[in-house]
């Protein structure tokens, strides 16, 4: 969980820091530093709002727990987080092409009309979006214990690393390729999303809400394989295996726990979990390639161009024949 918290906090915090930093840098270039205090005001309000969202979220989850239905909220959060994480990867893949240019247009327009409210709202929404997403993702990876993740060394070290990288970037000490950074972290985020998707599938199957194409005699989902002796997905499974068989596992359950949290690993998955894992990546890469990066549109445009060229050749041939 700590590595997940570190990665999510690093990604979300650095994204907010870079965009707010670009706003401040552009205001400096325009000799409009008088707006800086309003940008800081927006950031401060967003941080307070994010904290209130985290507090409210914890209260809501506790309320569900008192009714014994927190597992359903947890599953809902996990599925929603999969969609949000995936959308975040796609959005950054698309925006890193000209995120600076788009941001500068908005800030320039705000400065031109002297809109203080636009500065506050813009910086507020940027940081608030990252803050709310972070709270939501923390709830997904911790089973609703947002406060526990917020105070973990994973989240704190992720925030500290983001602040350091942001400072080095804007001080000119270190040149960061934003495209490479977001591509790398985006891939890791996709693994987290796929892992959450697989875990959510397993939970709804355990609850009996979804069946399986492979079932045991008592109608429960049948495991596609079982490699607990190789690497159990939890140290408790390791203890149970060694107690029951008197054998030692090859790889510790502590490592299996990390692999489970980070990549959705399971030593005894159902058919639907394995299929869901690989179908997730196929669907996401297809979506990014054909919609976000526009490969589909480029392919269609290329085909249309070829068709028009072919029509011109045919028309030219017909004209030469008639001549």
The b-or-e profile of 84-123 (16+ CB within 10 A means b, else e) is: bbbebbbebbebbeebbeebbeebeebbeeeeeebbbbbb
In this prediction the pTM is: 0.68
Task: Tell me how far apart the alpha carbons of residues 117 and 41 are, in angstroms, rounded to a whole number.
Answer: 10
pLDDT of res. 321:
47
Per-residue pLDDT of the chain (323 residues; tens, 9 = 90+): 577 788 788 877 887 887 787 777 777 777 777 778 888 888 888 888 888 888 887 777 777 766 667 788 788 888 888 888 888 777 766 665 555 555 566 666 666 655 667 767 777 877 887 887 787 777 777 766 777 777 778 888 888 888 888 878 777 655 666 667 777 777 888 888 888 899 889 889 888 888 888 888 888 889 999 999 999 988 889 999 999 998 999 998 888 888 887 788 889 999 999 999 999 999 988 888 876 666 555 554 555 555 556 566 545 555 554 55
Task: Tell me how far apart the alpha carbons of residues 148 and 127 are, in angstroms, rounded to a whole number.
Answer: 21
Task: Tell me how far apart the alpha carbons of residues 2 and 141 are, in angstroms, rounded to a whole number.
Answer: 10
Task: Tell me how far apart the alpha carbons of residues 50 and 133 are, in angstroms, rounded to a whole number.
Answer: 9
């Amino acid at each position: 969980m700590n590595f997940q918290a570190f990665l999510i906090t690093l990604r979300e915090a650095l994204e907010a820091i870079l965009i707010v930093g670009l706003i401040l840098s552009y205001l400096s270039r325009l000799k409009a530093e008088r707006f800086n205090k309003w940008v800081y005001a927006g950031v401060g309000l967003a941080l307070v709002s994010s904290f209130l969202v985290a507090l409210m979220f914890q209260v809501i989850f506790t309320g569900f727990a008192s009714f014994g239905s927190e597992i359903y909220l947890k599953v809902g959060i996990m599925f929603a987080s999969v969609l949000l994480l995936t959308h975040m990867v796609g959005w950054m893949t698309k925006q890193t092409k000209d995120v600076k240019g788009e941001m500068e247009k908005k800030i320039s327009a705000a400065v031109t009309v002297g809109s203080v409210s636009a500065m506050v709202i813009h910086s507020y929404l940027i940081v608030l979006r990252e803050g709310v997403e972070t709270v939501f993702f923390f709830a997904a990876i911790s089973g609703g214990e947002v406060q526990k993740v917020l105070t973990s060394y994973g989240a704190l070290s992720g925030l500290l690393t983001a602040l350091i990288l942001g400072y080095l970037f804007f001080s000119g000490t270190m040149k960061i390729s934003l495209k490479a950074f977001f591509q790398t972290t985006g891939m890791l985020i996709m693994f987290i999303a796929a892992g959450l998707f697989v875990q959510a599938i397993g939970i709804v199957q355990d609850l009996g809400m979804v069946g399986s194409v492979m079932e045991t005699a008592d109608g429960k989902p049948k495991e596609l394989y079982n490699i607990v002796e190789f690497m159990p997905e939890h140290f408790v499974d390791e203890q149970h295996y060694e107690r029951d068989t008197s054998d030692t596992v090859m790889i510790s359950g502590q490592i299996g726990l990390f692999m489970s949290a980070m990549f959705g690993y399971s030593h005894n998955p159902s058919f639907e979990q394995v299929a869901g894992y690989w179908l997730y990546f196929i669907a996401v890469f297809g979506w990014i390639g054909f919609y976000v990066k526009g490969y589909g549109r480029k392919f269609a445009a290329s085909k249309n161009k070829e068709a028009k060229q072919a029509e011109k050749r045919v028309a030219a041939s017909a004209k030469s024949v008639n001549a």
